[in-house]
Amino acid sequence: MTVMAHAAAGVVAAYMIQRATHQPFHLGIAGLAALLSGLPDLDLLWGWWHRRRTGGEGHNPHHALWTHTPLFWVIWGGILAWGFHLPLGLVVALALVHLVLDSIGTDDGIMWLWPWRRQQYALWPRDLHAAGARGLAFYRRYYRQPLLLAIEGVLLVIAFIILGTEIIRPF
Ligand SMILES: [Zn+2]
């Protein structure tokens, strides 16, 4: 999924978690959720560096890193929550939602069983980086996939409805 889908899913998930646990939801939480749900992709930087160093082509290999696994995010999410005094469940859940989205429609998927297995799992895998498609060419191929377009569109619409009601409510 794209960074927009990750941010939108973060807002939707945070809203559901806050409501389910009778905690407040406001635009600050929404912003934090959008940020936290994109955090696992910081390892893209390593992927770019690695690709440049090795002169490799093709897509960024960051989904094959241990930094994109549930076990890592349960531990690292716990440390972040403790260090920044954030709700543990929210931080870990947002990272796991990120990994779920990275398992849908991608061409490689996520190592859900790491460190026991290094196999990457993906639902409805799509070879969108085939023929070296990157940047705009990649996104053109991505948005021509009805399933991915539908999932991303639904997430964005729900996130905007939630944000809209939270903005309008105080007035
Ligand atoms: Zn990711």
Instruction: Say what the pLDDT of residue 31 is.
Output: 95
Instruction: Say what the pLDDT of residue 32 is.
Output: 95
Instruction: Say what the pLDDT of residue 139 is.
Output: 83
Cα of 150 from ligand 1 centre, angstroms: 19
* 81, pLDDT greater than 70: yes
Cα of 168 from ligand 1 centre, angstroms: 32
> How far is Cα 14 from Cα 32, in angstroms, rounded to an integer?
9
Give the pLDDT band (50/70/90) at residue 170. Answer: low
Cα torsion 146, 150, 153, 155: sign:
negative
Identify the bridge partners of residue 123 per DSSP, sorted by sequence position: 104
Give the pLDDT band (50/70/90) at residue 154. Answer: very high
pLDDT in tens, 47-72: 778 777 877 666 778 898 999 999 99
Task: Supply the DSSP symbol for 121.
Answer: B
pLDDT in tens, 7-55: 999 999 999 999 999 999 999 999 999 999 999 999 888 877 877 787 7
Which residues have CB atoms below 5 A from the ion given as ligand 1? 40-41, 102
Domain that holds residue 160: 3-168
> How far is Cα 143 from Cα 137, in angstroms, rounded to an integer?
10
**What is the tally of structural domains in the chain?**
1
Find the helix or strand (DSSP H, E) in which 72 lies.
helix 70-84
pLDDT in tens, 135-147: 788 888 888 889 9
Cα of 165 from ligand 1 centre, angstroms: 28
Cα of 169 from ligand 1 centre, angstroms: 33
Cα of 99 from ligand 1 centre, angstroms: 6
pLDDT in tens, 85-133: 999 999 999 999 999 999 998 888 999 999 999 999 999 887 777 767 7
* 169, pLDDT greater than 90: no
Among 13, 48, 57, residue whose Cα is nearest residue 34: 13
> How far is Cα 96 from Cα 72, in angstroms, rounded to an integer?
10
Cα of 40 from ligand 1 centre, angstroms: 6
**Is residue 116 within 8 Å of 74, Cβ to Cβ?**
no
Instruction: Say what the pLDDT of residue 171 is.
Output: 63
Cα of 11 from ligand 1 centre, angstroms: 16
